[in-house]
Amino acid sequence: MSDLNKLTIKEAREGLLSKKFSSKELVVDCLSQIKKNASNLNTFVTVCEKESIKSAETADISKPLGGIPVAVKDNFLTLGIRTTASSKLLDKYIAQYDATVVAKLKSAGAIIIGKTNMDAWAHGSSTETSDFGPTKNPWDITRLPGGSSGGSAAAIAADEAIISVGSETAGSIRQPASWSGVVGFKPTYGRVSRYGIIAMKSSTDSPGPICKTVDDAAEVLGIISGHDPFDATSIDEVSWIKPSPLTSLKGIKLGLPLSYFSPQTKPEVKTTILAAAETLKKLGAEIIELSDVLDPKYSIAVYTILQRSEVSSNLARFDGIRYGHDRSYFSEEAKRRIMLGTYSLSAGYYDAYYLKAQKVRTLICQDFDKHFTRVDAMISPISPTTALPVGATKGQSMFGEIQDQLVEPSSIAGLAGISIPCGFDNNGLPIGLNIMAPQLREDIVYQIAKIFEDNTEYHLQRPNL
């Protein structure tokens, strides 16, 4: 049997349990697809060929993800496997333990097939800042897949793994999912443990799944979520349980924030999102235009200051004593962020920049709270554009912040959100729909996304590789 790499979790589970194929055959098909696309896409930093085949031979398929290959973003620590965060500074670093997310995936029977490419240290929204070269978009290899979880999103779009995991700090799950035409589920901050993930901006880092379908993403989220005593920001709750799907959205109020359609928004993106809103309306939802939602442009300055400040602290540990090479191996992007963060935190500037940014962050959170008293969830574009050409980041020091401006506010506020395919532009490039809900309301995010997916076919379309 061929093309096993194209299966969803449900299809793979059914095939494994009915013995139509083995876990080894499933893994080998994924490995073959990775090799086929390696030179064109560059989705992986490390491929665990021998290890994954060996694990597949003894896989316990009775487990929830038993025998199913998973691609892991290269900022998750993986015991005995190279973990680089796509930086040459960590080129030869071998992790000494598993991140909690990785441990939970392994416990559920998943097989790590490799570590995916990303923007170095997660600094970017293109995967173009990787020290191991950019990842290309499977829909058009002259385009970027988004980032920083670009390798994880591209790997799923290219059917190189059944599931993948990424991390979002300001949009790094949803934005690459949108540009790559797959599903990216960003959980409430603290819903999934950050333990064992190379920190970028600790106060918003949120690990989450990138998958082929909404059900796949929800399945993985249920497995990797839950309280972790090793993470002080972990929510003290048991694992999230996927709710029953809805047959209608009657009674659901969806806010459409007009400020999220900025002048920079590509006309095709706006048209596609409004068409998705009409689809949701036909499914029973009440669409309420929100004219007074805080303009997402304010999140750009807030995120820039807070992110750089936390980066300057988090990257201070990489001094060349414990983790491979010294700081001369930092890329120009990392150095810029460290310097700006150090400046923002320095005496005389802390109040003017960092403290003020924290106050505006509070206003963003309060603005969401106010509007969620009127609506159950909000919908918007993920990014003002579809996938941009390779090289688009050159000379653009604020590229990531501009591309993430429509998802930065919800990440800053720690909200639950998802990106699902909802259409294509005139060049055949995917467009993602952003569904945002209050903290701990992954249930309604899932239900809205699921019923939209069940009544459309955008998620079924695959790139021609």
> Tens of pLDDT along 348-362?
889 999 999 999 999
Assess contact for 324 and 356: CB atoms under 8 A: no
Q: Which of 152, 167, 172, 234 is catalytic?
A: 172
**Count of structural domains, the chain:** 1
Residue 205: the pLDDT is: 98
What confidence tens digit (pLDDT) does each residue in 231-255 have? 999 999 989 999 999 999 999 999 9
What confidence tens digit (pLDDT) does each residue in 96-123 have? 999 999 999 999 999 999 999 999 999 9
Residue 138: the pLDDT is: 98
> How much is the mean pLDDT over the chain?
96
Q: Quick one: which of 60, 104, 411 has its CA closest to 238?
A: 104
Confidence of residue 391 (pLDDT cuts 50, 70, 90): very high
Residue 52: the pLDDT is: 98
Question: What is the C-alpha to C-alpha distance for residues 315 and 300, in angstroms, rounded to an integer?
Answer: 22
Q: For residue 317, which amino acid is it?
A: R
Residue 251: the pLDDT is: 98
End-to-end CA distance of the chain: 20
Residue 397: the pLDDT is: 80
Residue 368 CB burial class (10 angstroms; 0-12, 13-18, ≥19): buried
Collect contacts of 12-17 with beta carbons under 8 A, ≥24 apart.
Answer: 12/67, 12/68, 12/162, 13/61, 13/66, 13/68, 16/61, 16/66, 16/67, 16/68, 17/61
Residue 176: the pLDDT is: 98
**Residue 445, domain CATH:** 3.90.1300.10
Residue 172 is among the residues annotated as catalytic for this protein: yes
Confidence of residue 401 (pLDDT cuts 50, 70, 90): confident
Residue 321: the pLDDT is: 86
The contacts of residue 220 (CB under 8 Å, 6+ apart) are 9, 65, 105, 163, 165, 185, 209, 211
Share of the chain above pLDDT 70, in %: 100
In a domain, 465, yes or no: no
Residue 95: the pLDDT is: 95
Mean per-residue pLDDT for 404-430? 97
Residue in the block written with tokens 């569904």: 435
Residue 356 is among the residues annotated as catalytic for this protein: no
Q: Each residue of 261-297: b (16+ CB within 10 Å) or e?
A: beeebbebbbebbeebbebbeebebebeebeebbbbb
Confidence of residue 262 (pLDDT cuts 50, 70, 90): confident
Residue 192 domain boundaries:
4-460
DSSP assignment of 8-47, as one string? Answer: -HHHHHHHHHTTSS-HHHHHHHHHHHHHHHHHHH--EEEE
Distance of CA 432 to the CA centre of its chain: 13
Find the helix or strand (DSSP H, E) in which 72 lies.
Answer: strand 69-73
In a domain, 183, yes or no: yes
In a domain, 181, yes or no: yes
Residue 348: the pLDDT is: 86
Higher pLDDT, 346 or 382: 382
Find the helix or strand (DSSP H, E) in which 158 lies.
Answer: none
Question: What is the C-alpha to C-alpha distance for residues 134 and 192, in angstroms, rounded to an integer?
Answer: 28
Q: Give the global pTM.
A: 0.97
In a domain, 425, yes or no: yes
Q: Which of 86, 87, 148, 178 is catalytic?
A: 148
What confidence tens digit (pLDDT) does each residue in 62-98 have? 999 999 999 999 999 999 999 999 999 999 999 999 9
Mean per-residue pLDDT for 393-410? 90
What confidence tens digit (pLDDT) does each residue in 297-332 have? 999 999 999 999 999 999 999 988 888 899 999 999
Residue 125 is among the residues annotated as catalytic for this protein: no
Mean per-residue pLDDT for 6-20? 98
In a domain, 190, yes or no: yes
- Beta-sheet strands, E only, within 169-302: 183-186, 206-211, 253-257, 286-290
In a domain, 220, yes or no: yes
Q: Please determine, for residue 18, whether its predicted confidence score (pLDDT) is greater than 80.
A: yes
Question: What is the C-alpha to C-alpha distance for residues 129 and 125, in angstroms, rounded to an integer?
Answer: 9
* Angle of the 332-345 helix axis to the 297-314 helix axis, nearest 10: 100
Confidence of residue 439 (pLDDT cuts 50, 70, 90): very high
Q: Please determine, for residue 346, whether its predicted confidence score (pLDDT) is greater than 80.
A: yes
Q: Which of 22, 23, 73, 411 is catalytic?
A: 73
What confidence tens digit (pLDDT) does each residue in 54-64 have? 999 999 999 99
